[in-house]
Structure 1
Amino acid sequence: MTDVLPSGLETSEFSSDIRPQDDLYRHVNGAWLARTEIPGDKARWGSFHLLAEQAEKDVRTIIEESQDAEDGTLARKIGDLFASFMDTERIAAAGVSPLADTLAQIDAIDDVSAFLRTVGEYDRDGRAHLIGLYIEPDPGNPERYVPFLVQSGLSLPDESYYRLDTFEGTRASYRAHLERLFALAGVADAATQADRSIAIEGELAAHHWDNVRSRDAVATYNLKTWDDIQSLVGVDLSPWREAVAPTNPGAFAEAVVYQPSFLEGLGTLLTADRLDDWKAWLRAQVVHAAAPYLTEEIVQENFSFYGTELTGVPTIRERWKRGVSVTEGALGEAIGKVYVERHYPPTAKAAMDELVANLIEAYRQSITDLEWMTAETRERALAKLDAFTPKIGHPEVWRDYSTLMIDRDDLFGNVRRAAIFEHDRNVDKVGAPIDRTEWYMPPQMVNAYYNPLMNEIVFPAAILQYPFFDASRDAAANYGGIGAVIGHEIGHGFDDQGSRYGGDGKLEDWWTDADRAAFEERTAALISQYDELVPEGLDPEHHVNGALTIGENIGDLGGLGIALKAYELSLGGAEAPVIDGLTGVQRLLLSWAQVWQQKSREAETLRLLTIDPHSPNEFRCNQIVRNIDAFYRAFDVTENDALWLPEESRVTIW
């Protein structure tokens, strides 16, 4: 007889006065929500953050031990960078002197060409970003890297903060903050400088695309030659190009322009009569970039706006936590290698391999059985599924940091050198073979992602823990936790944008018109559902943006639905055990609710409703199960229950 494993659910925490049929999220998390206070240094607090907090402590131990490592070793670089951030006596003694050369250089700018050259130089070392730049495989030819040029230049979360009445108070607070920050940094005529900088930001924001439009994989794929880009802007950008890519002069022979109208609009602003405004904008950029590494007064001023005003967080994180973040940002994989050795058991990889295999097989069966999809598109969808590459735990090839110089006595220099190292590493990809071993997250990050250009799903080691995963508990909870996360990431390959990429990562239309229309009919219904959702305690105008969140909502819907099928496959025809009085499907759904446990400050909730493509966690739980027939069967949900959704209104895609 097979031993019955524990359920892995905190059943004693479930709220008996809240029925799962009425509110699955609060049935599972209600007691926790009632007693939990968000830590003073957090905007949100929940299952992801609890794991991230533990990973942060584990990383702190690794970093602090590295401070005594042998000179010249990679470990010593880790320790020295952290030590340079923690040396508050040296930082206080330096005051704002680390900014002196930068501000003098800005003062000396005498024409638009010099401005663009300086902006390019500052982009490279992380001091300023006028045109966003990153390097990825070309969606039209994913066997080569190309630069992507993206709208940038704003200091508020997105363009809507500059135009909506909702954010009038935020704009006023930002204006006051910038004047104070300029004064603390020693910038002359702080009030005028703040006004000039904000004027430029507002005009830039008017040329930004909104977040929904910027999600469109087709609209944002605009491959152009450098001459095309010059014509688009109407200004000679070569000084910027030369300064931003000195290690790879040919990198910009072609580039993808994400939002062409942004570059057009930018060109109309890059005129000689606006030079003083642009210099004020550049001062704001460099002071903001430097603020976390300057005096305590400047650090607190910066936090008062970006922490408290924008997200409602009352208390800045302890300095060691900020030091860990800085060190991870520069040397993440070097730390990750040690983290994996200490905290990632080999047994986890084998269990995850089985989970992923079952999830992919469940998707295969689901796609094969779809009634709304034609045979032609189904064949291409299955081919894409077969081409998926799972990456689990950690990279097979670790990043080489041998050329990055770290000086224990030079925090400012360390930050700039680390930014240059990472920037050049990326720019130098252009013209080189595609590196399919690269990871975009370190192993100690509690997250996961799907990359459509590589057609890969990636699960860092740190997320492979309770409540998402525990090899010692019954499988149902794992399928409701990490299994649904795996299903979610696979689902991104078939969401409203991921479905526009083929199995080789190429952006192409591989759907028949009839299938695309059937798909969009279903997604439109899901958008309408989410547009009606308002987080608890907010006014009705603060509802979820169904169009912004549709990709993640498709991922959630497919992820949970496929996790249920994969769990059934894992049973191999056997009947699921009843544990703690709960069936296997009930445990899976309760586990799903458990992983979305979270509290959020109101300011943070409002910010995320504006810019985040993910729905609030309560809806990631409840609205998804309302569309899942298995939920109705598992808990005998009837039309008298709050979570009931008429069968004809339920959306099933995959």
Structure 2
Amino acid sequence: MNLRSITLAATLCCTGFAHAAAIPEFVPDVDDSRSPCTDFNAWANTRWIQANPIPADKSRWGSLDELAEKSLTAQHAIVENARKNADRAKPGSIDQKIGWIYRAAMDEAAIERAGYEPIRKDLASIDALTTRADIVTWLQQAHARAEGRAFGFGVGADYKNAKRQIAFARQGGLGLPGPEYYSKDEYAKLRAAYVAHIAKLFELTGTPADDAQPRANLVMAMETQLAAASFLRVELRKPENQYHFVTVEQANKLTPHWDWGQFFKVMEVDAGIQAAGGFSLSQPKFFAALDTMLAQAPVAQWQAYFAFHAIDSASPALSKAFRDENFAFYGKTINGTPEQEVLWKRALGAVNGSMGQALGQLYVKEHFTPDAKVRAQQLVDNVRNALRARIENLDWMSPETKTKAVAKWQTFLPKIGYPDTWRDWSGLTVTPSSHYANLRAARAFNQRYNLAKIGQATDRYEWSMTPQTVNAYYSPSTNTINFPAAILQPPFFYATGDDAINYGGIGAVIGHEAGHGFDDQGSQFDGEGNNANWWTAEDRQRFEERANKLVVQADEYAPLPQFPDKHANGRLTLGENIGDLGGLNMAYDAMVKATAGQPDPKLDGLSRDQRFFMNWAKVWAGAIRPEAQLVRLNTDPHAPAGFRTNAAPSNMPAFAKAYGCKAGDAMVRPEDKRVIIW
């Protein structure tokens, strides 16, 4: 679960949910050979992990993945029905378009016959490039087709005026997981495998092996240059490395060989750029390096780079030889996954990538009831109020900063289940017979939809996640917390279930997302979504001191016994860890208030507080392949699941009391190392 992005809403006096005598889905199966006070994750989750091995087509498997699989099964039924009835559906309806996209993606015979024909013209256009001017023109046109190369381009709220949308040009263009993979000695074998992958794709499109290898080396050399000018992911956590507003004239001075005005005309967003007064050239160092490469790199090197990425990005939608090679590198080599997903899951992925919100519109009709939304809103209100109480009672924050923190809290906008207004898909044209053409049409359609926002007002009610996604997120630029319908299910949420289990599950998720508004990144944005300082210098220093203690806790965690020197990155995962710690505390406070005066009978042999923490642990039950975990240590802002299970409870006296843990136990942090932020 991502639980990343960076929310909440209203009365904490409510009585809470009705108690069930037992929760059939909630069956604790603890490992009695271990102690919850020594390693809560191992005690609570070992037996589940042993009974639920990672499927062959997955790089990890846990409670979250199990719930995501349930969502996929529900979606599968919807798209199968759409496929069967598409020809009889109302012309142009989302039912017909979803049915046709899915039907074309399922037509393996047609995809196999096409080979790489869908991109043959693209490769021919790259072969025809002869001058540096040709390179610039081709790159501009590729971005206009929503097939951009070398850098990223999109739209988002202005960091200094969040009420308006502006364009963002960002670093990009790499095929390996991050910039460090191009320089560190420990990734030399992976780099060699990547070069072999590049060469193999060239060979599949007819390049002789003797020519494919040198071309692959050219691609690797170009990406290495881009990587050298790129920020690491941990550096990108700083807002100042994400945003750099410039006018077109200022940008052109930085990149004299790349005319941004001309680029925006090709993209057909020049009027929006003018309305906004400029755009974010988010990483100037990267674009200065890219400009130098446009001026100096040989045309043949750019041709090799463009051609490889055209093939590589298309390969999952091409014939079997291309799909197999794509999976061999990205699935097996990078993540250690033994087998590809079955066809229907890949086809469903195409639907979600093309028309995910439209599929969500069909999903919520069948799988999300109004009652569930009402009960989820009640939890949001209670946890939100717990956050305010915690802010007001902080002993380390001055009244001046508290007033501004509460002001931000008051502007939180919670969104539950699905959008209030659904997107219009009438401009998207798809067919029942051409898989790749459908993907290309959808990419272009969705890019036009997004780029049309440039220069327009920010819509706080828009969703950037589909209802069928098992996840949640906070958006700092809109100050919203967002909980898609698919996460509002067990083990997170039992619509008629026990308070303790619900607060330990979805309640902690709600608190987590609200906590992102006050984590290392979110705390640098105000209630209007602007990147602005609302702290006194002294309070900011106190916050940093507490956050640094949490960094140390994560840095000490080594998730893989076979790689004892590979630790979590406390700085990269700081935002998520602050979200976990604050969120679990908020949820606990909310549960205590919601159940005040009620009896505390043991259910499933557990007291209320024990059930609360047990469901927190159950949410994070899971295992991951070593290859995938190693990549995530470098790239994932979330700490390993075992750390997430243990870290927040180990900082909470309520956990120690619930399980009878004593000073000196591993799950009881010494007072001088215990972290309390929110």
Alignment of 1:343-358 (within 5 A): 343-358=367-382
What secondary structure, in the 3-state scheme, does the structure 2 residue paired with 1:649 have?
coil
* 2:297 equivalent to 1:261: no
Q: Which segment drifts farther, 574-583 or 486-495?
A: 574-583
- In the TM superposition, residue 236 of structure 1 has moved relative to its aligned partner by 2.6
Q: Which segment drifts farther, 577-586 or 392-401?
A: 577-586
* Of 495, 509, 515, the match for 1:491: 515
Q: CA RMSD in A?
A: 1.7
- Checking the alignment, whether the CA contact within 8 Å between 1:127 and 1:285 is kept in structure 2 is no
What secondary structure, in the 3-state scheme, does the structure 1 residue paired with 2:177 have?
coil
Residue matched to 2:14: none
- Residues of 1 paired with 2:519 and 2:541: CA distance? 14
Residue matched to 2:221: 199
Residue matched to 1:132: 152
- Residues of 2 paired with 1:80 and 1:633: CA distance? 57
Report the count of equivalent residues. 654
Amino acid at match of 2:228: A
- Residues of 2 paired with 1:360 and 1:113: CA distance? 55
- Checking the alignment, whether the CA contact within 8 Å between 2:560 and 2:626 is kept in structure 1 is no
- Residues of 1 paired with 2:252 and 2:547: CA distance? 38
- Residues of 1 paired with 2:141 and 2:653: CA distance? 56
Residue matched to 1:79: 99
- Residues of 1 paired with 2:562 and 2:435: CA distance? 43
* 2:231 equivalent to 1:224: no
Alignment of 1:49-68 (within 5 A): 49-67=65-83, 68=85
TM-score, with length taken from structure 2: 0.94
* Of 211, 224, 238, the match for 2:233: 211
Residue matched to 2:9: none
The 3 A distance-change label for structure 1 pair 36 and 425 is same
The 3 A distance-change label for structure 1 pair 583 and 244 is farther
Q: Using the aligned pairs only, state the percent identity.
A: 38
- Checking the alignment, whether the CA contact within 8 Å between 1:136 and 1:145 is kept in structure 2 is yes
- In the TM superposition, residue 43 of structure 1 has moved relative to its aligned partner by 0.3
- Residues of 2 paired with 1:72 and 1:619: CA distance? 48
Residue matched to 2:205: 185
- Checking the alignment, whether the CA contact within 8 Å between 1:222 and 1:256 is kept in structure 2 is yes
Alignment of 1:83-482 (within 5 A): 83-187=103-207, 189-238=211-260, 241-242=263-264, 245-246=267-268, 248-251=270-273, 253-482=277-506
- Checking the alignment, whether the CA contact within 8 Å between 1:55 and 1:445 is kept in structure 2 is yes
The 3 A distance-change label for structure 1 pair 281 and 187 is same
- In the TM superposition, residue 242 of structure 1 has moved relative to its aligned partner by 3.9
Residue matched to 2:5: none
- In the TM superposition, residue 578 of structure 1 has moved relative to its aligned partner by 2.9
What secondary structure, in the 3-state scheme, does the structure 2 residue paired with 1:146 have?
strand
- Residues of 2 paired with 1:170 and 1:505: CA distance? 40
- Residues of 1 paired with 2:231 and 2:604: CA distance? 51
Residue matched to 2:11: none
- Residues of 1 paired with 2:271 and 2:150: CA distance? 20
Q: Which segment drifts farther, 636-645 or 593-602?
A: 636-645
Residue matched to 1:503: 527
- In the TM superposition, residue 583 of structure 1 has moved relative to its aligned partner by 1.8
Residue matched to 2:13: none
- Residues of 2 paired with 1:248 and 1:237: CA distance? 12
- Residues of 1 paired with 2:472 and 2:318: CA distance? 33
- In the TM superposition, residue 276 of structure 1 has moved relative to its aligned partner by 1.4
What secondary structure, in the 3-state scheme, does the structure 1 residue paired with 2:474 have?
strand
Q: Which segment drifts farther, 241-250 or 274-283?
A: 241-250
- Residues of 2 paired with 1:629 and 1:369: CA distance? 17
- In the TM superposition, residue 469 of structure 1 has moved relative to its aligned partner by 0.5
The 3 A distance-change label for structure 1 pair 90 and 580 is closer
- In the TM superposition, residue 83 of structure 1 has moved relative to its aligned partner by 1.1
* Of 582, 585, 588, the match for 1:564: 588
Alignment of 1:616-635 (within 5 A): 616-635=640-659
Q: Which segment drifts farther, 320-329 or 529-538?
A: 529-538
Residue matched to 2:627: 603
**Structure 1 segments of 4+ aligned residues over 6 angstroms from their partners:** none
The 3 A distance-change label for structure 1 pair 285 and 641 is same
- In the TM superposition, residue 240 of structure 1 has moved relative to its aligned partner by 6.5
- In the TM superposition, residue 307 of structure 1 has moved relative to its aligned partner by 0.4
* Of 520, 539, 543, the match for 1:515: 539
- Residues of 2 paired with 1:238 and 1:10: CA distance? 56
- Checking the alignment, whether the CA contact within 8 Å between 1:40 and 1:314 is kept in structure 2 is yes
- In the TM superposition, residue 65 of structure 1 has moved relative to its aligned partner by 1.0
The 3 A distance-change label for structure 1 pair 3 and 106 is closer
Residue matched to 2:37: 21
What secondary structure, in the 3-state scheme, does the structure 1 residue paired with 2:155 have?
strand
Structure 1, unpaired ranges of 5+: none
More RCO (CA 8 Å, sep 6+): 2
Amino acid at match of 1:472: T
Deviation track 1:155-186 (CA, whole Å, cap 9, x = no partner) reads 11110111111211110111111111110022
Q: Which segment drifts farther, 544-553 or 82-91?
A: 82-91
- Checking the alignment, whether the CA contact within 8 Å between 2:136 and 2:294 is kept in structure 1 is no
- In the TM superposition, residue 7 of structure 1 has moved relative to its aligned partner by 4.8
Q: Which segment drifts farther, 266-275 or 163-172?
A: 266-275
